[in-house]
Structure formats: structure tokens, C-alpha cells
Amino acid sequence: MSQSIIELKNVNIYQSGNLVLNNVNISVEKGEFVYLVGKTGTGKSSLLKTLYGDLELTEGEGWVVGHNLKGLTWKTVPFLRRNLGVVFQDFQLLTDRNVNENLRFVLKATGWKDEQLIKDRITDVLEKVNLKSKGFKMPFELSGGEQQRVDIARALLNSPRLILADEPTGNLDPETSDEIMQLLFHICKDFETTIVMATHDYMVINKFPARTIKTEQGKVVDNASIATS
């Protein structure tokens, strides 16, 4: 039986009162890898923000990792986000503390209390991203690719069923981009983690093909062809 991780039906998405995306219908299953593409200003970011509860869903039906997006409040958004990992283009690491402390900060903020469990979890996620020996490094001592790996490790801390990656290769050279893509596909396949990745890098998509969803002219086009973009 298939398990929907994202289900949007007849959804209209608004940004600052303006209709950005009209009549969105998307279903994404457990363990699927999906690209989200589209020119700047076509609603890519608004769609991602809706999925992680940053933009309120007012019209249509939406479910993400079992949470109803309609009627989310500041009290219930954290429960949704505990089941999600978000990977940013600019890493957003805390520059005043080392890798271990960056990860510890997130675990403490999401309710972890047992110090041994925290330590074990940090070791586990750093192993998954091949950074086991870098826990005591400061962010500035890491390469761009290593910082992105820390960002991915951070997204994995609470064993999310869904990772939303916003241009995760945007600031990386092609070789490092390939490494990050291989890591994301590995996480998707081996842990059955659903990944939705926003990107404008069509070289990456051609090299690592997967289902592609496109935002254009106020619509969301599923299984979009990217050859003409």
C-alpha cells in the first residue's frame, strides 16, 4: 500500500494576499525523490513554505507527514516540523559553535533531554553524512560541501519522513554538487526518506534524473519536461 507523505488537493496558495499558485494537486509517496523547478517568482518558495507551515493554507486540502496543513497554529507547527527536515542553500549554521554544538542546539530545541541519547544521535547523523571526525570543527574550518553535509545531518536529527531541500547545491562547485546529490539519493533510498528538492540547476537534474514538478504561470505541472527550460 502506498503512503502519501504530501497530499495537496485543489489548493490555492497566496503570498501577501496575492494568488501565486492556483488549483494545486500533488501527491508524493514515501521514499520518493522529487525535484521542484520553476523560474524565480513562479511560486516555488511559496509552495515549500506552505509545506513546512510558514505560509497558511486557507483554500483546498493539504496533508504533510500526516499533519493537516489547514488550521495549523503556532502551537501545532512545531509538531509538523519535527517530522520534516529542511536543508537550506546558505547552510544557516551557528557560526559561534562547533558542528556537535550546532546539532546539539537543534536536539535541545526539539525536546531532547538525555545527554547520552543526544551524543549518540549526533554521532549517528554525522556518520550518515561521512563527517564522523569533524564534530569539533567550527563552521569556518569546513569547506562549502562539508557545511552542506552538516546542514543535511541537522535535517536528519529527528529521523524525518520528509526532507525539503531548497537549492542545496546552489552555492557549490559541480564536483561537490555531485557528492551532495549522491548523499541525498542515498538517504532517500536507504532510509526511505521522501525528498523534495527545489533547484534551478538543470545539469543536476539531467545527471540525477527523478520526477520533476514545475511551477509556471500560476500552475503546478507534474512530471514536467525540463528540456525546454
Calculate the alpha carbon distances from 10 to 6, 37, 68, 130, 136 in Å: 13, 20, 14, 41, 48
Q: Report the share of the chain in percent with pLDDT over 90.
A: 73
- 78 with 167, same domain: the answer is yes
What are the pLDDT digits (tens) for 15-50?
888 999 999 999 999 999 999 999 888 999 899 999
- 136 with 74, same domain: the answer is no
Calculate the alpha carbon distances from 56 to 32, 45, 85, 206 in Å: 25, 13, 19, 33
Q: Which domain holds residue 173?
A: 1-83+161-229
- 41 with 19, same domain: the answer is yes
Q: Which of 143, 159, 175 is the last residue of a domain?
A: 159
Residue 227 lies in a domain: yes
Q: Which of 118, 143, 159 is the last residue of a domain?
A: 159
Q: How many folded domains does the chain comprise? A: 2
Alpha-carbon gap, residue 50 to 44, rounded angstroms: 10
What are the pLDDT digits (tens) for 87-96?
977 778 999 9
Work out the mean pLDDT of the chain and round it to a whole number: 91
The pLDDT of residue 229 is: 41
State yes or no: pLDDT of 198 exceeds 90: yes
Residues 182-202, mean pLDDT to the nearest whole number: 93
Contact 26/51 with Cβ under 8 angstroms? Answer: no
What are the pLDDT digits (tens) for 149-173?
999 999 999 999 999 999 999 888 8
Residue 76 lies in a domain: yes
- 191 with 120, same domain: the answer is no
Q: Report the share of the chain in percent with pLDDT over 70.
A: 97
- 169 with 215, same domain: the answer is yes
Alpha-carbon gap, residue 90 to 168, rounded angstroms: 8
- 77 with 123, same domain: the answer is no
- 71 with 120, same domain: the answer is no
- 151 with 141, same domain: the answer is yes
Q: Which of 125, 159, 193 is the last residue of a domain?
A: 159
Instruction: For residue 142, give the DSSP letter.
Output: S
Amino acid at 119: K
Residue 6 lies in a domain: yes
Torsion 204-209-210-215 (CA) sign: positive
Is residue 1 very low, low, confident or very high in pLDDT (cuts 50, 70, 90)? very low
Calculate the alpha carbon distances from 111 to 75, 108, 141 in Å: 14, 5, 29
Strands 211-216 and 33-37: parallel
Taking the CA of residue 205 as centre, how many other CA atoms within 13 Å lie in the half-sphere pointing to its CB?
24
- 133 with 167, same domain: the answer is no
- 19 with 79, same domain: the answer is yes
Strands 67-68 and 59-64: antiparallel
Residue 166 lies in a domain: yes
The pLDDT of residue 71 is: 83
- 73 with 169, same domain: the answer is yes
Residues 112-119, mean pLDDT to the nearest whole number: 95
- 111 with 218, same domain: the answer is no
